[in-house]
Every structure is written in structure tokens, then in C-alpha cells.
Amino acid sequence: MGNRRGINVEIWDHPIFKKMSVEERTFYLYLLTNRHATGIGIYHIVRKLIAFELGVSIDSSQALLDRFSLEYELIRYNRETREVAIKDWGKFVQLNGGKRVMLSELKEVGDHSLIPFVSESIAKPKIRSLYDSFCTQEQGIT
């Protein structure tokens, strides 16, 4: 049995999701549920792998990354660290990794500016404070 990730069905009512094409919806659901995703909404992935797993060209995967970053502002992709951060991760994915697992995954993030980008949309105060405290520790603020 593999990993399971619950998706909030309210995603179908999200105004931006309603505007998306079938290809864009597939891409967004892929970002939320692929086997490379972590429990924190930030993970390493390369364009070539996205293209391969979705069955699209590398140019198409780049165009989707750009559209979701620039037009929809739902993700950030750092080409240097090859990390994607999903803004509404906390709204649409069931967060159940536990504090230790989440801290471990937060420590693996190469581009720390991605952490507050994801934490902004986390509704649960305990989980949001975990992200925020990690950012504070990383900046040397106590």
C-alpha cells in the first residue's frame, strides 16, 4: 500500500480552479498529489519529470509552471534548487505528517523564501506556527 494524500473536495468550488482548463486542472492536481510531494507543500521536482509523468513536452511543463507562478500565483518554482511550493497546500491537502516529520521536511528546503509563501494559506494555527517558527529560527530570531 502506498502513500495516501487526502484532497479537500472544495477545490472544485475554488474560483481559480473553476476557470482552469482540463490540462491546468490535471497539472494542479498532479502537483498536489504526485509521489514526489512532501507533507509540507514544498518539494524537489524537475520539469523533465513533470513532463514525463503527465505525458506532455518539457516546453508544456515549463509553460504550466510559468502560468501557475505568474498568472495564477498558486505556486513558486525555483529553477536553481528545483523546488516547487504550492500556495494553497494547506487548504486542499490533508496535513497529517506530524510535527517531527514536518520539521524534518522543512529542514530539507533549499529556498527558505518558499516556506512563508506556503504558510500564508494554512488555516490551522498549530501548523502555521510550525512553519513560522521554522522561518524565525532560520533567520536567527529567538
Distance (Å, rounded) from C-alpha 137 to C-alpha 26? Answer: 36
Distance (Å, rounded) from C-alpha 3 to C-alpha 96? Answer: 12
What's the order of all strands across the beta sheet hosting 83-86? 42-44, 83-86, 75-78
Split at pLDDT 50, 70, 90, the class of 48 is very high
3-state secondary structure of 80: coil
9-138 maps to which CATH number? 1.10.10
Split at pLDDT 50, 70, 90, the class of 46 is very high
Put simply, whether the predicted model's pTM sits higher than 0.85 gets the answer yes
Distance (Å, rounded) from C-alpha 3 to C-alpha 39? Answer: 11
